[in-house]
Chains A and B, each alone.
Chain A
Amino acid sequence: MSQENNSMAGFNTSSYKLPNTSLWQKLSHKLQKNWKSAVIFIPFFWLLLFFLAPFFIVLKISLSEATIASPPYLPMVSWLDEGIVQIKIVIDNFAYLWEDDLYVDTYINSVRIAGVSTFICLLLGYPIAYAIVRAPQTTKNILLLLIILPFWTSFLLRVYAWIGLLSDQGSINDLLLYIGIIDEPIRLLYTQFAVYVGIVYTYLPFMILPLYANMEKLDLTLLEAASDLGSKPFTTFLTVTLPLTIPGIIAGSLLVFIPATGEYVIPDLLGGGNVLMIGRVLYNEFAANFDWPVASAVAIALLLVLVLPMMLYQRIQAQEVEAKQ
C-alpha cells in the first residue's frame, strides 16, 4: 500500500517505485521466468506424450516379431534365464513388405493416384483461385465463402454423395442415357476413376485456398508494368504471375498430396476392392489381419515416403511466419 501512496505524490517524483530489495527482484524474476516455462511446457509436454512418443512405439512394434497372442507381438527386450538381456530386432516385417509385390504396387499406386489428383487439383484450382482474386470485392467474399463452406460440412457425407452420382443407376448414368451418349449404364463406381473424382472433389478447396492467399498478395501494378513494357497477357502470365505464385502452388500441392497418399475413406467407399491404397492396406492389416508389426511397418514405410514433402511443408510454414514478423 505504501507504494501506491508514493506514486500518487506528484510529478517526476516516483510513480515508479523500484523494488528495494534485490531478493524481491530475484524472486519476481524467477516467477516471470517460470510462468513462461509453463506456457512452453504444457503444450510441449502434451505433444511429446501424445504425438512423438506414439511414433517410437510404432517404430518399436514394426521391429518386433509377430505372434498369436495379446498383444500380437513378442517383446523386443526380454530377460533370458541367466539374467542376460536379449534385444531382438526383427526387420522381417520390412523385408516382407519389400518382397510382396502387393505392398510395393500399393505404394506406387498410392503415390501415383495422389500425384495425378494433385495435378488435376492444380489445373482446376489455379484458374478458380485467380478468378476469385480478380473478382470485385463483394463477389470475392461470397465466392470465398462458397469455397470454404464444403470444408465445414462432413467430409464423409460429401464422399458418400458421389456414390449416388456414380452408381449404375446413379444420376450421371441417368443423364448420359437420357442424352443418348450411351445405351446401357457404364461402370463408374468402384473404379480408379471414381477414386480420382473423390480425391479431387475433397481436396480441391485445400488447393484453392493457399493459391488464393498467395495470389492476393500479388501486386497488380506488376502486371500493369509488364504490359506497359510491351508484354502480351499470356507472356505476362508466364513471366510474372506464374513465378510469383510458385509458393502458393507448392503449399497447395503439398496440402493435397500428403493426405491423399494416406487416404483411406475415399478408396474404400468409391474404389471398392479394385483400388489398393496404403491407407486401406494399413487399416486392413491392423483391424482384419490383426498383424500389428506389419501394420506398423506399413506406417513407417508410408512415413518414409512422405517425410520429404512433410519437411518441405514445415519449412514453408516456418518461412511464412517469419516473413510476417
Chain B
Amino acid sequence: MSHNSKRSPFLVTMLCFGMAFLYIPMFMLVFYSFNYSKIVPVWGGFSTRWYTTLFESEEVWEAVILSLKIASISACFATILGTLAGIALVRFGRFRGHTLFSGMITAPLVMPEVITGLSLLLLFIALGDVFGWPEKRGFSTITIAHITFSMAFVAVIIQSRLAGMTQDLEEAAQDLGAKPLRVLIDITLPLLMPGMMAGWLLAFTLSLDDLIIASFVSGPGAVTLPMLIYSRVRVGLHPDINALGTIIIVVVAIGVLLAGWIMLRQQKQRKLEETLSGN
C-alpha cells in the first residue's frame, strides 16, 4: 500500500503527535534519572548518584534476580504448553472439549488481572488447605500463575502461525513415509521455531512486567521487581526508580533494535538470493 501515496499533512501530524505522546514521558523519565536533586521534577544538575544508590541496594538486586528467575522459568513452560495447545487446536481437527479449550486459551488474553490474581490466590489457598501444597506462597505460586496467563499468549501466536501455514509440508513428509509424531518433530516444530521464540520473549516480558497477579499470589518474603517498584512509587517520586527505568528502557531498546536489525538483514539476504536464483 505504499506506492503513489501522497503525504497527507493530517496523517503526518497525527503520527508525530502519537510518537511524541508515546516517547516524551519515557524521555523525561530518562532525563530525570541524571538529576542530582532528590525531588524529581526539579533540576539540580547532572549526576549519576541514583545509579550508584540503585546498584548498592541489596533489595533491588534480590527483586531483579527473583523476577528474572520467575520470568525465564515461566516463559519456558509457557512456550511448551502454549505450543502444545496451539498445535492441538489447529491441527487435530475437532475433538471433545474443543470449544471449551479454545475458550480457555483466549480468555486470559483479555481477563482483567485483578480477577486472574484473586481467583488463583483462592485456588492456592484451597489447595493448601486440602493437600498441604503450596505450603507457602512465593516463587512457585507466582511462576505457576505466570505460566497460566502467558501460555495463552504463546498459544495464540502458534495458532496464528499454524493456521497461516499450509498443510502441504506436513502432508509431504507423511507421503515420504514419516509417521505423525515424526512429522511433528521434523517439520512442524522447526517451522514453528520463530513463532516459539517470539512466544518465549513475549511470555518473558509479560512475566517481568506483571504486578497485580504477582501481588495477589505472592507470599511473605517474595518480592518481584514490579512489586518493589510499586511499593516505592505509591508514596511518590524516587530518582532511583528513574534510574531503574532508564536501564530497562535501554536494555529493551537495544534488544528490540538488534532483533529488528537481524530480521531486516535476513529479509534482505533472502531477497537477494531469490533474485539471484532467477525469480
List of B residues within 8 angstroms of A174 by Cβ: 41
B163→A321 contact, CB < 8 A: yes
Interface residues on chain B, number (Cβ under 8 Å):
101
- Asked whether A156 lies within 8 Å of B209 as measured between CB atoms, the reply is yes
Residues of chain A lying within 8 A (CB to CB) of residue B12: 131
Binary per-residue interface labels of chain B (143-164) against chain A in the complex, 1 for a CB within 8 Å, 0 otherwise: 0110110010001100110011
A268: CB under 8 A from chain B?
A: yes
Contact residues of A: prevailing secondary structure? helix
Q: Is the CB of A156 within 8 A of B114?
A: no
Interface 9-residue window, one of B49-57, B58-66, B243-251: B243-251
- Determine if A262 and B113 form an interchain contact, defined as CB atoms under 8 angstroms apart: yes
Rounded to whole angstroms, the CA-CA distance of A53 and B15 in the bound complex is 45
Cα(A160)–Cα(B208), bound, Å: 16
Contact A296 B248 (CB under 8 A): no
A-B contact number at CB 8 A: 275
Using known A-B contacts A164-B40, A204-B18, determine if residue A43 contacts B113 with beta carbons closer than 8 Å: no
Interface flags for A202-222 (1: CB within 8 Å of B; 0: not) read 001100100000011010100
- Among B15, B108, B255: residue with most chain A CB under 10 A: B15
Nearest CB in chain B: distance from A172 CB, A? 10
Within 8 A of A (CB), among B56-87: 81-82, 84-85, 87
Beyond A132-B15, A164-B32, is A39–B1 a contact (Cβ under 8 Å)? no
Any chain B CB within 8 A of the CB of A302?
yes
Pair A154/B22 contact, Cβ less than 8 Å: no
Q: What is the distance, in angstroms, from A290's C-beta to the closest C-beta of chain B?
A: 13
User: Could you show 23 A-B contacts with beta carbons less than 8 Å apart?
Assistant: A32-B180, A35-B180, A40-B92, A42-B81, A46-B151, A127-B10, A127-B15, A149-B256, A151-B205, A152-B252, A153-B252, A157-B244, A157-B245, A160-B233, A164-B25, A165-B25, A174-B41, A254-B110, A269-B234, A299-B119, A314-B102, A322-B163, A324-B160
Chain B residues within CB distance 8 Å of chain A? 1-3, 5, 8, 10-12, 14-15, 17-19, 21-26, 28-29, 32, 39-42, 81-82, 84-85, 87-90, 92, 95, 97, 101-115, 118-120, 122-123, 125-126, 129, 144-145, 147-148, 151, 155-156, 159-160, 163-164, 177, 179-181, 205, 208-209, 211-212, 216, 226, 229-230, 233-234, 236-237, 241-242, 244-245, 248-249, 252-253, 255-257, 260, 264
Shortest beta-carbon contacts, A-B, top 5: A262-B112, A54-B119, A324-B163, A43-B85, A131-B11
Extra 11 A-B pairs, beta carbons < 8 Å, given A39-B92, A47-B104, A282-B118? A50-B123, A125-B18, A140-B2, A154-B226, A161-B26, A165-B25, A205-B22, A263-B112, A264-B114, A279-B113, A321-B90
